[in-house]
Amino acid sequence: MSIQEKQVILSLFNTVLVLVIYSLWLYNRYLSVTPEVINDFSFWGRAFVILVPVTIVVQIVMHILFHIVNAILSREHVPDKEDERDKLIELKSIRLSHWIFITGFFLAMGSQALSMQPWVMFILLISFGFIAGMASDIAKIFYYRRGV
């Protein structure tokens, strides 16, 4: 397995880890105590505003740890730059995640057009954002393995 594939798998793992832990924390801290906040726009706004930087920080910390552990265990050279193949794979995976997120956004707006509860929209946005991130990583693994 190449170093790029390992990094993508780590990113996938981080995405799942952050979302699961953050969802559990949100549920235990707010939703189980005061269920009525589920339709509070400011609650969902805060949830999004906290989730994004937390995800970025976790990804950075985990990648630093990965580089240290990888250097100690395998002594494999980690490329310090992206080449044209990496960029092409990145573009293709971003295109896929873009379409998935746009689909989620459309469904989220559709839920409001059908007069559903506001929480449906926010759950759809978070879910499709999460699925888009995962699909991007899975697509990268696929392209690194099968070829571009």
Partner 1 sequence: MGRDSIDNNIRTLRFLNGEMTQQELANNTGVTRQTIVAIENGKYFPSLELAFRISHVFGVPLGEVFIFNHQNDPVIRKQNKS
Q: ∠ CA(5), CA(10), CA(13), 5° rounding?
A: 125
| Minimum CB distance to partner 1 smaller for 20 or for 78 | 78
CB of 144 to partner 1, least distance (A): 8
User: Closest approach of Cβ 146 to partner 1, in Å?
Assistant: 7
Residue 75 or residue 146: which is nearer to partner 1 going by CB? Answer: 146
Q: Which two tokens stand for residue 112?
A: 């409001």
Cβ within 8 Å of residue 63, ≥6 positions away: 7, 10
- Which residues contact partner 1 by CB under 8 A? 2-4, 77, 79, 81, 83-86, 144, 146-148
Q: Which positions ≥6 away from 8 have C-beta within 8 Å?
A: 137, 140, 141, 144
Looking at beta carbons only, is 98 or 145 nearer to partner 1? 145
Q: How far is the CB of 145 from partner 1 (least distance, A)?
A: 9
Which amino acid, residue 89? I
**Smallest gap, in angstroms, from Cβ of residue 121 to partner 1?**
41
| φ/ψ bin of 34: left (φ > 0), alpha (ψ from -120 to 50), beta (otherwise) | beta
Beta strands (DSSP E) in 19-123 are none
